[in-house]
Amino acid sequence: EPEVTQTPSHQVTQMGQEVILRCVPISNHLYFYWYRQILGQKVEFLVSFYNNEISEKSEIFDDQFSVERPDGSNFTLKIRSTKLEDSAMYFCASTTAGSGNEQFFGPGTRLTVL
Amino acid sequence: GESVGLHLPTLSVQEGDNSIINCAYSNSASDYFIWYKQESGKGPQFIIDIRSNMDKRQGQRVTVLLNKTVKHLSLQIAATQPGDSAVYFCAERGGSNYKLTFGKGTLLTVNP
């Protein structure tokens, strides 16, 4: 069964450093998402990406965040200057077009900012 | 603002019992409601969804009920097994980008 993959599984960084979280969505999917989950809290929407551009973003997704789909398979989330409060699990998800289709989530990247 | 929330943060049941997890939502415009299961250290896993024009949908051992009058969603798990132990999130989906808005989660613990 196809699945969403994410790398790395755990990223430790110093405050102020840039990090790039990587995702490979399911190959025939067209909508891509990043969500984050602070420890013990609910999953929060960050950004959606469709047709090679951001289609929607949340208030969390400020100027420090960016997303890219540099080729036909990878989907990345960059945080330019990490803050302590960016420590969380970051999940990538993807779905096909159409309102009835489920979003498939990757296993997540645990980001720890020291 | 609009939100999706859960009545119970934890639920402990005996193996073989039926489990019911509840969720309240406030956005009447959502077109789908979904239940996800999240095991420790893993991403959310789709369980079942229900379209807003339905009131009940059944899957394998799971049933989702939607009461639009009181904006309430529930997940019923029949014959709960230890492998069902996880955090369960309800989520609503709306808008042209199909983004999900999650509730806070209920921790289900199944005792053998």
Tens digits of residue pLDDT in B56-66: 999 999 999 99
Flag if B98 and A42 touch (Cβ within 8 Å). no
pLDDT for the residue B37: 96
Distance CA A25, CA A64 (A): 23
Tens digits of residue pLDDT in B95-106: 778 889 998 889
Neighbours of B82 (CB within 10 A): 10
- For residue B50, the number of C-alpha atoms closer than 13 Å in the C-beta half-sphere is 21
Strand ranges (E), chain A: 5-7, 10-13, 19-24, 31-37, 44-50, 53-57, 65-68, 75-79, 88-95, 104-105, 109-113
| 8 Å CB contact between A93 and A32 | yes
pLDDT for the residue B2: 42
Q: Which of A60, A2, A30, A42 is nearest to B92 (CA)?
A: A42
Q: Specify whether the backbone of A98 is left (phi greater than 0), alpha (psi in -120 to 50) or beta.
A: left
Tens digits of residue pLDDT in A6-56: 999 999 999 999 999 999 999 989 999 999 999 888 899 999 999 999 999
- If you measure CA to CA, which chain B residue comes closest to A96? B98
**Residue in B42, B46, B100 closest to A107 by CB:** B42
Tens digits of residue pLDDT in A49-107: 999 999 999 999 999 999 999 887 899 999 999 999 999 999 999 998 765 678 999 99
pLDDT for the residue A2: 83
